[in-house]
Structure 1
Amino acid sequence: MQIRVWNSNLKVRLIGEALFNMLFWMYFPFITVYFGQALGNDIAGMLMTVPPVFSILGALLGGAMADRAGRRPIMLLGVSLQMVMFACFALSPSHWIDYVAFIGIGLGGAIYRPASAAMVADLVPAEHRREIFATFSTANNLGAVLGPALGAVFFFHYRQELLWTCSAIMLLYFIAIYFMIHETSPPSGNKAEASASISSVFRKQWQSYGIIFRDKVFLVYTLAGICAMVSILQLDLYLPVYIINEVPAQPFFPWIADSPVLTGTDIFGWVLGFNGLLFVLFILPVTKWLGSWKERNVFILSSLLSGVGTFALGLGSNIWYLFFVTVIFTFGEMVRSPVTQSFISRYAPEHARAQYMAADSLQPTIGRFLAPITVFLSTWVPPMGVLSLILLFALISAALYIQLFRMYVEHPEQQRG
Structure 2
Amino acid sequence: MNLVPFHIWSVNLKVRLTGEALFHLLFWMYFPFITVYFSEALGSHTAGLLMTVPPLFSMVGHLLGGSLADRLGRRPVMLLGAALQAGMFALFALSPSPWLDYAAFIGLGLGGALYKPAGAAMVADLVPAPDRRRVFAAFATANNVGAVLGPALGAVFYFHYRQELLWTCTVVLLLYWAAMYFVVRETLPPSAKTQADPSTLVLVFRQQWKGYGVILKDRVFLLYIAAGILALIPIMQLDLYLAVYVTEYVPAQALFAWKEDSPVVSGTEIYGWLLGFNGLLFVLLILPVTKWLSPWSERSVFILSSLLSGIGTFSLGLSPHLEFLFFATFLFTLGEIVRSPVTQSFISRYAPEDARGQYLGADSLQNTIARFLAPLTVFLSGWVPPMGIFSLILMSSLISIVLYIRLFRIYSHATRDCEGLKA
Q: With structure 1 as the length reference, what TM-score do the two structures score? A: 0.97
Separation in 1 of the partners of 2:368 and 2:163?
Answer: 28
Listed as ranges, the matches of 1:93-112 within 5 Å are 93-112=96-115
Offset of residue 40 of structure 1 = 2.1
> What's the counterpart of residue 249 of structure 2?
246
> What's the counterpart of residue 73 of structure 1?
76
Structure 2 gaps, min length 5: 419-423
**1:351 is matched with which residue: 336, 351, 354?**
354
> What's the counterpart of residue 226 of structure 1?
229
Amino acid at match of 1:76: L
Q: Structure 1 residues 378, 37: closer, same or farther in 2, change over 3 A?
A: farther
> What's the counterpart of residue 129 of structure 1?
132
Contact 2:144–2:279 (CA under 8 A) maintained in structure 1: yes
Contact 2:192–2:353 (CA under 8 A) maintained in structure 1: no
Separation in 2 of the partners of 1:95 and 1:47?
Answer: 12
Amino acid at match of 1:337: S
Q: With structure 2 as the length reference, what TM-score do the two structures score? A: 0.96
Separation in 1 of the partners of 2:106 and 2:388?
Answer: 34
> What's the counterpart of residue 262 of structure 2?
259
Separation in 1 of the partners of 2:417 and 2:218?
Answer: 9
Offset of residue 37 of structure 1 = 2.0
Separation in 1 of the partners of 2:92 and 2:167?
Answer: 9
Q: Structure 1 residues 99, 414: closer, same or farther in 2, change over 3 A?
A: farther
Separation in 1 of the partners of 2:6 and 2:215?
Answer: 34
Offset of residue 257 of structure 1 = 2.2
Tell me the alpha carbon deviations over residues 295-345 of structure 1, each in whole angstroms, 9 at most, x when there is no partner.
101000101111111111111111221111111000000000111111111
> What's the counterpart of residue 187 of structure 2?
184
> What's the counterpart of residue 374 of structure 1?
377
Note if 1:162 corresponds to 2:168. no
Separation in 1 of the partners of 2:166 and 2:239?
Answer: 22
Amino acid at match of 1:44: A
Amino acid at match of 1:261: V
> What's the counterpart of residue 404 of structure 1?
407
Offset of residue 237 of structure 1 = 1.4
Structure 1 gaps, min length 5: none
**2:30 is matched with which residue: 27, 30, 42?**
27
Secondary structure at the counterpart of residue 415 of structure 2: coil
Offset of residue 192 of structure 1 = 6.1
> What's the counterpart of residue 312 of structure 1?
315
* RMSD value, Cα: 1.3
Offset of residue 58 of structure 1 = 0.2
Aligned sequence identity (%): 67
Secondary structure at the counterpart of residue 314 of structure 1: coil
Separation in 2 of the partners of 1:310 and 1:283?
Answer: 19
Tell me the alpha carbon deviations over residues 30-69 of structure 1, each in whole angstroms, 9 at most, x when there is no partner.
2222212222222211111111100110000000000000
Separation in 2 of the partners of 1:191 and 1:274?
Answer: 48
Amino acid at match of 2:308: L
Tell me the alpha carbon deviations over residues 47-99 of structure 1, each in whole angstroms, 9 at most, x when there is no partner.
11111100110000000000000000000000000001111111111111111
Secondary structure at the counterpart of residue 316 of structure 2: helix
Contact 1:226–1:367 (CA under 8 A) maintained in structure 2: yes
Note if 1:84 corresponds to 2:111. no
Tell me the alpha carbon deviations over residues 108-142 of structure 1, each in whole angstroms, 9 at most, x when there is no partner.
00000000000000000001101101111111110
**1:383 is matched with which residue: 375, 383, 386?**
386
Contact 1:69–1:191 (CA under 8 A) maintained in structure 2: no
Separation in 1 of the partners of 2:228 and 2:206?
Answer: 27
Separation in 2 of the partners of 1:10 and 1:101?
Answer: 29
> What's the counterpart of residue 282 of structure 2?
279
Amino acid at match of 2:167: W
Secondary structure at the counterpart of residue 190 of structure 2: coil
Q: Structure 1 residues 190, 210: closer, same or farther in 2, change over 3 A?
A: farther
Note if 1:338 corresponds to 2:341. yes
> What's the counterpart of residue 17 of structure 1?
20
**1:291 is matched with which residue: 282, 291, 294?**
294
**2:66 is matched with which residue: 49, 63, 66?**
63
Note if 1:117 corresponds to 2:120. yes
Offset of residue 413 of structure 1 = 6.2
Offset of residue 241 of structure 1 = 1.6
